[in-house]
Amino acid sequence: MMDKDNLRKADIFSGSLIFLIGLFIVSQALKMPMKDSWGGVQNVWYVSPAIFPLFVGAIIMLLGGMLVRTAVKEVGINVLKALSSFILSRDFFQFLKLEKNLRFYAVVCILFSFVFLFIPRVDFFLAAIEFLLVFITMFYLDDRIVFIKLFRFYAAQVLIFIVFLITGLNTYFSVYTTYPGDLLVLVLIVSFVVFAYRLTRGNQEFKKKYKISLIVAILSPLLVGMIFKYLLMVPMPFEGMMVELMDLVWYM
């Protein structure tokens, strides 16, 4: 396991990346109309579809900025200057090949797959649950071996979903079911839950942390999403199987 100083130095990189991803989400959300007119009726800004991605992007930017601020505060500004010089040197490319950078690669993989792969194609609630479940479990357990196994398992899941899209299986199965991508992600979520449980069942501390991760990953998107969807009347980025089920329950 990396010592605290090295972890904080790595946090500067990962926090900066998280901030930039949040900034990109905000910039894309700002391209959506904040107000519009339908049938002669002017919609107010708080029902715009841009509100939710703006909220998510702003939170990601805030968390990334806080991570960088905490890291710089602990290691000092001089270390930050030394890191800047190191980035421009040849040693930096050798540094990227080290195994301890796996945390950084995991953050990039999880965020990019969530933003660019799942969000545009999968029911928002399923995509958010998958994202939080993987992200929280991998980092909260804080064990190198478990982390590597979970990351490899998730990377395999991402590869499966990419193959599912490239081969046109999503179009093929759409003849038999309305939301083939949602069903596949649901299977991926269940398989990750089972796989993580098998890794943690022999350790009481891991089991406790895993239960907390599971509860937060499921309840958070449901509660926040329902507030935006049914109270603020903001549509989700992609509404699929879960939204249809929740609509049925809500309007009954």
Residue ranges of the domains in the chain?
1-90, 98-252
Rounded Cα distance, 115 and 227, in Å? 21
Where does 30-123 have alpha helices with state H?
51-75, 77-87, 91-96, 102-112
**Tokens 């839950």 — which residue?**
193
Rounded Cα distance, 238 and 117, in Å? 12
Q: Count Cβ neighbours within 10 Å for each residue of 203-218 and write b for 16 or more, e otherwise.
A: eeebeebbeebbeebb
Q: Angle at Cα 185 formed by Cα 242 and Cα 50, nearest 5°?
A: 55
Give Cβ neighbours of residue 184 (< 8 Å, ≥ 6 apart).
Answer: 160, 161, 164
Burial of 18 per CB tally in 10 Å (0-12, 13-18, 19+): buried
> Amino acid identity, residue 165?
L
* Predicted local confidence at residue 21, as pLDDT: 87
Q: Packing angle between helix 102-112 and helix 4-29, nearest 10 degrees? A: 20
Rounded Cα distance, 179 and 167, in Å? 17
User: Read out DSSP for 170-196?
Assistant: HHHHTTT-S-HHHHHHHHHHHHHHHHH
Rounded Cα distance, 161 and 233, in Å? 30
* Predicted local confidence at residue 54, as pLDDT: 85
* Predicted local confidence at residue 96, as pLDDT: 66
Asked if 234 and 48 count as a contact pair (C-beta separation under 8 A), the reply is yes
**Strand pairing partners for 42?**
37
> Amino acid identity, residue 9?
K
* Predicted local confidence at residue 122, as pLDDT: 93
Rounded Cα distance, 9 and 239, in Å? 39
pLDDT digit string (tens) for the chain, length 252 residues: 445 566 666 777 778 888 988 898 888 888 777 665 554 555 665 667 778 788 888 999 999 889 888 887 777 666 666 666 766 667 667 766 666 678 878 888 898 899 889 988 999 999 999 999 999 999 999 888 999 999 999 999 999 999 999 999 988 998 888 899 999 999 999 999 999 999 998 889 999 999 999 999 999 998 988 888 888 787 888 888 998 989 888 887
> Among residues 154, 162, 149, 153, which one has the least CA distance to residue 118?
162
* Predicted local confidence at residue 1, as pLDDT: 44
Rounded Cα distance, 242 and 128, in Å? 11
User: Read out DSSP for 122-179?
Assistant: S-HHHHHHHHHHHHHHHHHS--HHHHHHHHHHHHHHHHHHHHHHHTTHHHHHTTT-S-
* Predicted local confidence at residue 224, as pLDDT: 86
